[in-house]
């Protein structure tokens, strides 16, 4: 079920506030399971927020970010009805994507 | 970061930061209240609710059936408002059941699944993203959001379950000579930074019963009330509490009845 992103984007004054919640285990690779075996590292390495075709934010993430991470971004220039898209890639080649329209 | 796109501020935070928010200044449970305020409605349990709903409508088992025929007490397939009536007596099994036990019953009868495999791993272990039971219970709780907690206490077996639950609640045992009451009989007390609810009071029980299942930030998982009970047993160094056992259901009945009249606001967001 990884790969899902819940996004809300709301315009407040000149600022569009984007809130994105991502479904991801964000395993650091440092933990062991109940049997004592290492749980393989599995975390988001790249995250990006787009307003239409424009990149609003790009980030490099690592193992220090929590499971099911929550991302908040504010940018100028959005209008209600515009599309906001959030994407991620992880260290195992997985990807996630979600989009919404600005309210 | 590309320039010129009008980025005003960018901030991201992780639940790991919850600990750093804990620095002085805030009272008792204030750290987590503050955290909940920051998260607003963005409880990662929303994913688990969706997953639970999908599982309910997914055909599984030898009979290749969905759970839509499952009677949670309000009739076959009625899920809205069913959670707040648990634990309750079911004539078809002649038992008082909690949600988890009822789900297991439906999986084994309606879907024809093997009891052992269904109950082998009810709760997530480290590194898991959730179990089927956890997802289903979370969705069912969400289907009762805002409803008044009103566990059935009409059948004699239901009232007996409450009495038994009360007895177990005050029963001291184990290497630490602990009872549930040792930690949960006083209000406004805490252990480390966590406020401990007084589960003998209506307010304490209502707040607790109404906020589980809950997303545990420190575990990155949604946990159910059945798990919460089992983990209390572990902390008391008692034998492992089995999902759907009489002991678990009795304790849940005790808490739910004390909580009656409160509001269901699960899934909650917890430390």
Measured CB to CB, residues of chain A less than 8 Å from chain B are 1-2, 4, 6, 15, 19, 21, 23, 25-27, 31-34, 39, 51, 54-59, 64-77
Residue A33 lies in a domain: no
Q: Is A36 part of any domain?
A: no
Closest among B142, B226, B13, B44 to A25, alpha carbons compared: B44
B214, β-bridge pairs:
B223, B268
Cβ within 8 Å, pair B129-A25: yes
Task: With a cut of 90, say whether residue B224 has pLDDT above it.
Answer: yes
- Model ipTM value: 0.82
Domain presence at residue A35: no
Taking the C-alpha atoms of residue B125 and residue B235, their distance in angstroms, rounded to an integer, is: 17
pLDDT at B23: 36
- Using CA atoms, how far apart are residues B67 and B33, in angstroms rounded to an integer? 36
Low-confidence residues in chain A, pLDDT < 70:
1-2
Of the two residues B20 and B62, the one the predictor is more confident about is B62
How many C-beta atoms surround the C-beta of residue A42 within 10 A? 18
How many structural domains comprise chain A?
Answer: 1
Kindly tell me if the per-residue pLDDT of B105 is higher than 90: yes
In a domain, A63, yes or no: yes
pLDDT at residue number B28? 52
With b for 16 or more beta-carbon neighbours within 10 A and e for fewer, the B11-42 pattern comes to ebbbbeebeeeeeeeeeeeebbeebeeebeeb
How far is CA B87 from each of CA B73, B96, B152, B170, B252, rounded to the nearest angstrom? 10, 6, 7, 20, 7
Can you give the three-state secondary structure of chain B, one letter per residue?
Answer: CCCCCCEEEEEEECHHHHHHHHCCCCCCCHHHHHHHHHHCCCCCHHHHHHHHHHHHCCCECCCCECCCCCECCCCECCCCCCHHHCCEEECCCCEEECHHHHHHHHHHHCCCCCHHHHHCCCCCCCCCCCCHHHHHHHHHHHCCCCCECCCCCCCHHHHHHHHHHHHHHCCCECCCCECHHHHHCCCCEEECCEEECCCCCHHHHHHHHHHCCEEECCCCEEECHHHHHHHHHHHCCCCCCCCCCHHHHHHHHHHHHHHCCCECCCCEEEC
pLDDT digits (tens, 9 = 90+) for B2-45: 444 443 333 333 333 333 343 334 445 667 778 777 777 788 89
pLDDT one-digit tens code per residue, B155-207? 999 999 999 999 999 999 999 999 999 999 998 787 887 788 999 999 999 99
Query: Is A9 part of a structural domain of the chain?
Result: yes
In CATH, what number is assigned to the domain containing residue A85?
Answer: 2.60.40.10
Residue range(s) defining the domain that contains residue A10: 5-28+41-101
CA distance A100 to A83: 6
Query: pLDDT exceeding 70 applies to what percent of chain B?
Result: 89
Best mutation target among A68, A74, A82 (most B Cβ atoms within 10 Å) is: A68
Q: What is the pLDDT of residue B24?
A: 38
pLDDT digits (tens, 9 = 90+) for B107-140: 999 999 999 999 999 999 888 889 999 999 999 9
B98: confidence class by pLDDT, cuts 50, 70, 90: very high
Distance CA B177, CA B199 (A): 19
| CATH code (residue B223) | 1.10.760.10
Q: CA-based diameter of chain B, in Å? A: 71
Residue with tokens 């599995």: A42
Q: Which of B1, B3, B12, B18 to mutate to test the interface with A (most CBs of A within 10 A)?
A: B12
pLDDT of residue B271: 83
Among A23, A72, A76, the residue with its CB nearest the CB of B12 is A72
Answer whether residue A88 is part of any domain. Answer: yes
The residues, any chain, with a CB within 8 Å of residue B55's CB and separated by 6 or more, are B67, B132, B135, B136, B139
Q: pLDDT for B226-259, tens place per residue?
A: 999 999 999 999 999 999 999 999 999 999 999 9
Q: Is residue B10 part of a domain?
A: no
Residues of chain B found within 8 Å of residue A26, distances taken between Cβ atoms? 220
Q: Is residue B98 within 8 Å of B82, Cβ to Cβ?
A: no
In a domain, B7, yes or no: no
Q: Domain containing B43: what range?
A: 15-270
Q: How confident is the model at residue B217 (pLDDT cuts 50, 70, 90)?
A: confident
Domain annotation covers residue A71 = yes
**B183 labelled catalytic:** no
Question: What is the domain count for chain B?
Answer: 1
């Amino acid at each position: 079920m990884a790969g899902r992103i819940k996004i809300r984007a709301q315009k407040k004054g000149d600022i569009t506030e984007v809130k994105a919640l991502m479904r991801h285990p964000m395993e650091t690779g440092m933990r062991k399971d109940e049997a004592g075996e290492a749980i393989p590292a599995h975390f988001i390495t790249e995250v990006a927020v787009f307003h239409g075709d424009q990149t609003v934010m790009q980030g490099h993430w690592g193992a220090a970010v929590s499971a099911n991470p929550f991302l908040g971004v504010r940018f100028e220039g959005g209008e209600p009805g515009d599309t906001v898209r959030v994407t991620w890639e992880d260290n195992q080649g997985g990807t996630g994507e979600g989009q919404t329209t600005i309210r | 970061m590309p320039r010129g796109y009008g980025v005003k501020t960018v901030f991201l935070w992780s639940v790991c930061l919850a600990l750093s928010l804990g620095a002085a200044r805030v009272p008792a449970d204030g750290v987590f209240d503050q955290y909940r305020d920051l998260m607003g409605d963005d409880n990662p349990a929303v994913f688990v609710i969706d997953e639970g709903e999908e599982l309910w409508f997914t055909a599984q088992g030898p009979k290749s059936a969905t759970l839509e025929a499952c009677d949670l007490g309000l009739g076959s397939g009625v899920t809205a408002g069913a959670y707040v009536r648990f634990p309750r007596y079911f004539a078809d099994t002649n038992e008082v059941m909690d949600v988890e036990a009822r789900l297991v019953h439906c999986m084994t009868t309606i879907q024809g699944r093997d009891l052992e495999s269904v109950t082998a791993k009810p709760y997530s272990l480290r590194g898991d993203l959730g179990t089927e039971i956890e997802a289903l219970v979370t969705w069912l709780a969400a289907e009762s959001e805002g409803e008044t907690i009103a566990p059935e206490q009409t059948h004699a077996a239901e009232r007996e379950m409450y009495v038994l639950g009360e007895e177990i609640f005050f029963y001291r045992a184990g290497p630490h000579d602990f009872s549930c009451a040792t930690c949960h009989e006083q209000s406004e007390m805490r252990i480390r930074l966590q406020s401990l609810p007084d589960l003998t009071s209506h307010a304490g029980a209502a707040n607790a019963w109404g906020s589980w299942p809950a997303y545990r930030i420190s575990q990155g998982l949604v946990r159910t009330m059945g798990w919460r009970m089992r983990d209390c047993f572990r902390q008391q160094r008692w034998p492992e509490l089995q999902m759907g056992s009489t002991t678990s259901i009795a304790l849940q009945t005790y808490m739910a009845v004390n909580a009656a009249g409160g509001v269901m606001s699960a899934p909650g967001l917890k430390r």
